[in-house]
Amino acid sequence: MAVVLVGGLLGGLLGGLLGGEEGPHGPYRPPYDVSCPAWTKLHRRFDDTRIEDRERAFLCLVRDAGGPMFPDDKSDQALLASGRTLCAQPGWRRADEWLRSGDRTINLHGLDSALVFLCPDVIGGPDLMPSDEQMLKEEADYVAASNAGCRDPWPKTRARKQGTAAYFTSEGGGYHLADDADPDNEDGVERDDDGLLTGEKTGVGIETIRAMNVCVTVKAFDKAPPLRLKGWQEVAEVGVTSRSGRLMVPAMQPGGGEGAGRALPNLAVKGPGHYRVRVYARGDEDASTMLPAEWHLIVVYPGRSRKEVVYRSRG
């Protein structure tokens, strides 16, 4: 009986000195790991990271990637400042900065997966899914910035009607100019990717060089302006008929992903009739940017010929 009592007292004393508690112990849990492999190798999620360790998680992820966006010679504070600057930008601008940096050690998903530890509300939380409201706001910012970056390549040549806008193409690029009130063009205009232009009776299909968004300037004249080839990679001309008195580059509709970023004018300056459409194109095929890096000039003037003329071709 005494042995049992002494044993119990000894056990309680040792337990008190060692910080133990009476009763059964749960399974052993290793201490919370704050080493970089917790995020770089085991991929600990944002939800499972303590608030005080989120900056560390970001630093671990970007230092593991390295590369031009987050070079090794930058201090922790400099990297955190770079991350917060990226957080303050719309999503397309972060993507643009990534493209311009040439950094391929980290992809866009990896970049957002690191930034979520600094600005979860901006990035879209652990699932990296911004709200619909945020996405609409960012889309509007992207359209506005793209339009603002487009300039008239013939600023000194005034036309009866003219305008400039960014054109947002569908996958594969290309767009069209057509009599949009003609039922024949209800589904757009077919394009032949063998050349710059594809002439249809009441519309013209236009190919892009980069298969991406472009800056488009339109100019409508009473007669043919001088032909200027300098500085352009492709120049071609074809005839088209407007039965309704309209020749339009389609504008992007609300919620749509294709069309001009702002309305461009009706180019059928003489009303219903026959017109010539001359298109000039040049593109920077090596450009790495979310903004348009291709420029088109569309010249329209009255003319009956339907003949296609290629003045300059890339081959």
Strand pairing class (214-220; 294-302):
parallel
- C-alpha angle 142/134/105, rounded to 5°? 65
- C-alpha angle 119/291/100, rounded to 5°? 65
pLDDT of residue 190: 80
Whether 11 shows a pLDDT value over 80: the answer reads no
pLDDT of residue 20: 45
Considering the chain, what is the average pLDDT of its residues?
A: 89
d(Cα 192, Cα 211) in Å, to the nearest integer? 13
pLDDT of residue 128: 85
Whether 236 shows a pLDDT value over 90: the answer reads yes
pLDDT of residue 296: 98
Tell me the DSSP string of 269-302: TTSSEEEEEEEEEEE-TT---SS--EEEEEEEEE
Q: Which of 301, 314, 168, 148 is nearest to 237 (CA)?
A: 301
Mean pLDDT of the 26-39 span: 80
Strand pairing class (309-312; 234-242):
antiparallel
Whether 15 shows a pLDDT value over 50: the answer reads no
Tens digit of each residue's pLDDT (9 = 90 or more) over 106-146? 999 999 999 999 999 999 888 888 888 888 899 999 999 99
Which two three-digit tokens encode residue 179? 């009599």
Whether 28 shows a pLDDT value over 90: the answer reads no
Mean pLDDT of the 94-110 span: 93
Tens digit of each residue's pLDDT (9 = 90 or more) over 257-288? 899 999 999 999 999 999 999 999 999 988 89
Residues of the chain with pLDDT > 70, as a percent, come to 90
pLDDT of residue 30: 64
Residue written as tokens 């990271």?
A: 49
pTM of the model: 0.83
The contacts of residue 199 (CB under 8 Å, 6+ apart) are 205, 238, 239, 240, 306, 308
